[in-house]
Structure 1
Amino acid sequence: IDAREVDNLKTKRRELEEAINALEEQLKALLMEQRHFEDEAAKLHKLR
């Protein structure tokens, strides 16, 4: 492995870590949205 390959791998790793971080943030937002919808569904169910 030469220096250029090492740099390419470091760049790829950084890109993948950024993608993972973005996906984790999206997952958090979706879980919060799901919790909200479940709470709303529970409220509607109580009203029936």
Structure 2
Amino acid sequence: MIAISRFILGNEALAVPIWWSYAAAEILITAGFFFGREIPAGAAEPADR
């Protein structure tokens, strides 16, 4: 992703913001695995496949 800014702009101006966006997305995805959604009390049971 960082290479995109090099090819489009010819410099590294977007490298840091892109890296921080990527890092934040990775943290949020990982947090979603550990602290996922809770199933409401009135929700139907998941179907077996």
Shorter-normalised TM-score: what interval?
0.3 to 0.5
TM (norm. structure 2) is: 0.47
Query: Larger relative CO (CA 8 A, sep 6+): 1 or 2?
Result: 2
Task: Give the structure with the higher percent helix.
Answer: 1
Between structure 1 and structure 2, the one with the greater Rg is: 1
